[in-house]
Amino acid sequence: MSGNEISPNDCPQAPGFRAHVRTLILHEACQTAGGIGQLAKLLRLPAASVSRWLEGAEEAPDFVYQACIDIVLTYPDGTGHP
């Protein structure tokens, strides 16, 4: 696997119950999309950025959280695609 490829369903474990709701939204969208790479494709953003946000290394911009909410609501069956 090359450095740019990310395996499916590679979402990190969501933090515990004390996690901020924004963090939980990102993690739910990652699971719904089927992994970091798929979430990055849906967001049309680099997977490295998505990964940093999921790990809590950086805070995602507001538009990312709105897009993640849309992903979770649009794909309730967790397929990550229509």
Instruction: Give the type of residue at 75.
Output: Y
Confidence of residue 56 (pLDDT cuts 50, 70, 90): confident
3-state secondary structure of 18: coil
pLDDT for position 3:
40
d(CA 80, CA 2): 23
pLDDT over 90 at 48, yes or no: yes
Question: What are the sequence ranges of the domains in the chain?
Answer: 21-74
Which structure tokens are listed for 46? 């680099």
Q: Are 67 and 53 in contact (CB under 8 A)?
A: no
Q: How confident is the model at residue 79 (pLDDT cuts 50, 70, 90)?
A: low
